[in-house]
Chains A and B, each alone.
Chain A
Amino acid sequence: MSQTAPASKSIAPVAPEILREQLMRPLPRVGLRAFIIFILVIALLGWSVQGTETSISTLVDGLPDVWNFIVRLFPPEFELARGTERTFINGGEELNVPISEAEDTLRRIFDADQSVYVYEGDQPVPLAQRDLSRTISILRADGLTTIRYVVGASGFTIGFPSIISAIVETIQMAIIGTLGAVILAIPVSLLAARNVSPHPLVYQVTRFILNILRSIPELIYGLVFVAAVGLGPFPGVLAIIFGSVGSLSRLFAEAIEQIDPQQVLAIQATGAGSAQTFIYAVLPQALPLLISYSLVYFEHNVRNATILGYVGAGGVGFEIQKYISLFQYDRLMGTVIVLVVAVTVIDRFSSYVRSRFI
């Protein structure tokens, strides 16, 4: 629309000799209006530079501090030692024994020179003979009546960077958050798409609400939901849903506005109802774009969920904030490296999936 309006204006007839003269000019003639616009743009830029205190000399003065910061990032520390451990067991026989007999039984087995793993919760932990009494008393304190243990097995333990579990949590938040936003956005986008909206008023109201949702940053949603449901990844999931549903609905609505109305008409002409028309005419046409936008938002949310930890809404952001405030820049760097790898893998994966659908 915006392209046709000025074009139709410039169609006003011009005498051929004037047109010829205009077309022969090597440089465009600058009118008063263009000059004023130019001055206004320069003024706008100057005003913005002044308002943001943008200054090259401040940057140059600060360069040594930047260098200092960079030096302290290396070498990156992945916290392998302090990481979570996971024990893998090969074979063995799993047994249950009353806790009152546990210590005697286990000592007997140790005497027969066999390795023993005791379950702490669902996690089998290798047990050394010298720790036996202490472990049994810990298990007893948990209120257990029997303990489970494995004998005759070989096993090994792997240390994970502790940061991985935080990143996994971030990705889980992004998956559920994006899915929630997509499920909400599909019906909402039907109200917000001009061509399928039941009434122009519904369209306007929906767009207005979506604009409000969209203009509030995810971080604010994070703060609100942390206050509402407490610390942890769940408020992060809610923040992602609310932070994406506005934009996603708008993108979905635009995808639906691009469909061919004739195909919709053809399905309606068979006597199909409105839900059937949606499933058989609207959805098949819009689906590639809907999937594409959903995946783009999934990528976006993996990156965005990182920052939600800052307000206590779970994920790797909490760790990052901790390292920065404790000046543990080497650990910060380790975290960032792992994060970059994870985000890259996810971006590649989602690009691949998207390429299959378009």
Chain B
Amino acid sequence: MLQINDLRVVYANGNEALKSISLKAERGEIIAIIGRSGAGKSTFLRCINGLQKPTSGQIVLDGADITAMTASELRLARRYIGFIWQEFNLVERLPAITNVLTGRLGYHRGISSLMLYFNAEHRAIALRSLERVGLLQRAKFRSDRLSGGEKQRVAIARAISQEPKIILADEPVASLDPELSVQVMTDLARVAREDGVLTLINIHQVELAKQFADRLIGIAQGVVVYDGAPDGLNEDVLDSIYRFDKSVSLTAEEQALFKRRESPLPRQPIVLG
């Protein structure tokens, strides 16, 4: 369903974000993409919905090459691609329900859409989406009054109200505390499974990735260094993803430093007065 061939992205400043990425993904898969900051994970996702133009390579979604599309074709394609952002990117001054309704804009053209008019079908889809992330009660709240976790769940509702074929989530829980992260990831994975939507999630927390994804892809220095089941993620693989430039062993001094940090701090008597 999604096939990516030899994707390469070189920025104008000469920085090569992606060297060569190829992969195939099918409907219903939940794929976590892990890698260090700057490994090119975000660039990769932004290529898939056309926010970033690749230097070379193809991205074929349902038989159509996204990299070869004109601006208007891309607009049509984007309505099938839900995007979830690290910083939520809700339109802060609009109520939650309107933010979810913006997920319907791709299906609702014409003058009436510019007057905040959405027909019953669009509204029903948006309400259902909010309900599925458990936030129907927050529908009329202005988005800047929602908490971080609520914002991200509204963003998930916005994405699923697009009735997407694919959801791209770029660090969806990086701005949330660990407990909220689990809640948001649970919601995201649940709706993705219920709808059978192919979901690509950039994520820093390897534990969360293992817990929620069917498949892990490790990206380092612009290439795929691991592609497989979460179980196959052993120390060597993690090293190749996260510590590829630390192959040299630490000096004795550095080792001592690490040792000292590992040992608990010595208890010091508290002196009053």
Bound-state CA distance A262–B89 (Å) is 6
A238-274 Cβ-contact flags toward B at 8 Å (1 or 0): 0000000000000000000000101101111111110
* Beta-carbon contact of A272 and B91 below 8 Å: no
On whether A262 and B85 interact (CB within 8 A), knowing A269-B51, A285-B91, the answer reads yes
* Beta-carbon contact of A276 and B113 below 8 Å: yes
Asked if B77 CB lies within 8 Å of chain A CBs, one says yes
* Beta-carbon contact of A270 and B93 below 8 Å: no
Asked if A228 CB lies within 8 Å of chain B CBs, one says no
Bound-state CA distance A284–B93 (Å) is 6
Give the residues in chain B near A285, CB-CB below 8 Å.
Answer: 91-93
Asked if B131 CB lies within 8 Å of chain A CBs, one says no
Asked if B83 CB lies within 8 Å of chain A CBs, one says yes
Q: How far is the CB of B24 from chain A (nearest CB, A)?
A: 23
Q: How far is the CB of B27 from chain A (nearest CB, A)?
A: 20
Bound-state CA distance A300–B265 (Å) is 67
Asked if B106 CB lies within 8 Å of chain A CBs, one says yes
Give the residues in chain B near A280, CB-CB below 8 Å.
Answer: 91, 94, 98, 102, 105
* Beta-carbon contact of B94 and A284 below 8 Å: yes
Bound-state CA distance A272–B87 (Å) is 20
Q: How far is the CB of A83 from chain B (nearest CB, A)?
A: 46
Bound-state CA distance A288–B142 (Å) is 14
Bound-state CA distance A273–B87 (Å) is 22
Q: Which of A273, A275, A284 contacts B91 (CB 8 A)?
A: A284
Bound-state CA distance A193–B92 (Å) is 21
* Beta-carbon contact of B85 and A266 below 8 Å: yes
A197-222 Cβ-contact flags toward B at 8 Å (1 or 0): 00000000000000000000000000
Bound-state CA distance A263–B80 (Å) is 19
Asked if B149 CB lies within 8 Å of chain A CBs, one says no
Asked if B30 CB lies within 8 Å of chain A CBs, one says no
Give the residues in chain A near B82, CB-CB below 8 Å.
Answer: 270
Bound-state CA distance A35–B257 (Å) is 55
Q: How large is the interface on B (under 10, 10 to 19, 20 to 34, 35 or more residues)?
A: 20 to 34
Asked if B67 CB lies within 8 Å of chain A CBs, one says no
Asked if B114 CB lies within 8 Å of chain A CBs, one says yes
Give the residues in chain A near B75, CB-CB below 8 Å.
Answer: 271-273
* Beta-carbon contact of A281 and B113 below 8 Å: no
Bound-state CA distance A275–B102 (Å) is 13
- A267's nearest neighbour on chain B, judged by CB, is B102
Asked if B165 CB lies within 8 Å of chain A CBs, one says no
* Beta-carbon contact of B89 and A266 below 8 Å: yes
Bound-state CA distance A270–B105 (Å) is 7
- A273's nearest neighbour on chain B, judged by CB, is B75
B-facing residues in A259-311 (Cβ within 8 Å): 260, 262-263, 265-273, 275-276, 279-281, 284-285, 287-288
Bound-state CA distance A272–B158 (Å) is 13
Asked if B129 CB lies within 8 Å of chain A CBs, one says no
Asked if B81 CB lies within 8 Å of chain A CBs, one says yes
Q: How far is the CB of A304 from chain B (nearest CB, A)?
A: 31
* Beta-carbon contact of B90 and A271 below 8 Å: no
Bound-state CA distance A279–B158 (Å) is 17
Bound-state CA distance A270–B162 (Å) is 7
Interface residues of chain B, those whose CB is within 8 Å of chain A, are 49, 51, 75-83, 85, 87, 89-94, 98, 102-103, 105-106, 109, 113-114, 116, 155, 158, 162
Known: A270-B106, A281-B91, A284-B92. 11 other contacts (CB 8 A): A262-B87, A265-B51, A269-B49, A270-B82, A270-B158, A271-B75, A271-B79, A273-B105, A279-B116, A280-B98, A280-B102
